[in-house]
Structure 1
Amino acid sequence: MSIATLILGQSGTGKTTSLRNLDPAHTLLIQAVKKPLPFRSEGWGWFHKENKPHGNVFVSDNADQIIKMMKGTRRDVIVLDDFQYILANEFMRRVLDKETGNAAFAKYNEIAHNAWSILMAASQLPDHKRVYILGHTQEDENGRVKAKTIGKLLDEKITLEGLLTIVLRTTVINGQYLFTTKNNGLDTVKSPMGLFEADQIDNDLAAVDAAIFSYYGLQETV
């Protein structure tokens, strides 16, 4: 059973930047929307598949393709960026299709199923694999901060955080970009007891990965 972790935060608060210290040789990055990385990448081991035969950056928002890539990669660390756009892109395409009646309502079931399928697959890879799912946040009418989806009809069908054991959230304090590791009573942050000593840690996904690797006693692959 692989370890899947959700990293939540508003745009510009350090989600994608947290990849900066991951080893590209051991990391697969799947982008829902193609965009440049916010740190030195080309020439530093990050290459789009379309440019390099053995590239480690793929662009897809199709659930079946994403699951196939996760299952097929030899790399131990997988990052999905940004999960919200996997949902939103499909929703917007189907809005343009002008679905009506039952078809319009059914799309929420289908989008929810695709989201669920990706999260299930992320937790069902070989034991040594780690999957990091980056996503935006939204605040509900009660002031509770959660993963952003595409509305209440989808939220009624699936609670993304409920499918995972580790949920971190970005925060920026005095210009320092951090992850919070403990729930504040109004968000969905959670982590296993003893995984992180501090309530706030550097937004360094390599350090998070090392902590998870040690905590669960994972074994290196050859």
Structure 2
Amino acid sequence: MKNPSPLTRILIPLLLLLLLFLLSSSASQAAPSSLSRGSSLSVGDDSDVLLVSPSKSFSCGFYNVGSNAYAFSIWFSDFANKTVAWTANRDHPVNGHGSKISFREDGGMVLADTDGTVVWSTNTSSTQADRVQLLDTGNLVLKDPSGNILWQSFDSPTDTLLPTQPITKTIQVVSAAAPRSLSSGYYSLYFDNDNVLRLIYDGPEISTGEWRGIMGRRDGGF
């Protein structure tokens, strides 16, 4: 067997170094599971994924809902069609370029459209919120330095309840307007004033009760 040429002896180490660099660069650019104050992401960045849960089961970022229209959402990472589990601005999509989600220095997280108009907020300004985390449960949370949850997406579901997510007296689940649509539909699931879980159809021409569930506590889950 012939000995490798001097050029081969030089190229092989260089190629190995390049491969290691590319792998390291890819790992460093992977989406984090948490953000600190001052972080932001704009529509049209290199990656529209803002956060990925530690197990990589859920992703959070900008979800395309139409021509030049985006929603800030959480979706199942493993599904090819990115099945959405939660949306912040389901009825108020933002424009495709220049819109931004920001975790501000004052502890608030806001979604602003291209012109700077705030279309959604966690209302946590002037709090001790110091990090945003996407948990393996699919829950997006804002925590203080002690780990206390100051805001969570589980408290404001859209059309989906995930495992471990409770439904309480302050929570209302609203159906999507159509298959693969994120906009609000006409069916609502919630506890009524009699502590009964009720499914209501509230359409443009008629509003009616469709179903009544078992008695439950309004101050807690099932």
Give the TM-score normalised by structure 1: 0.29
Which of 1 and 2 has higher RCO (CA within 8 Å, sep 6+)?
Answer: 1
Could you say which structure has the higher helix fraction?
A: 1
Structure with greater strand percent: 2
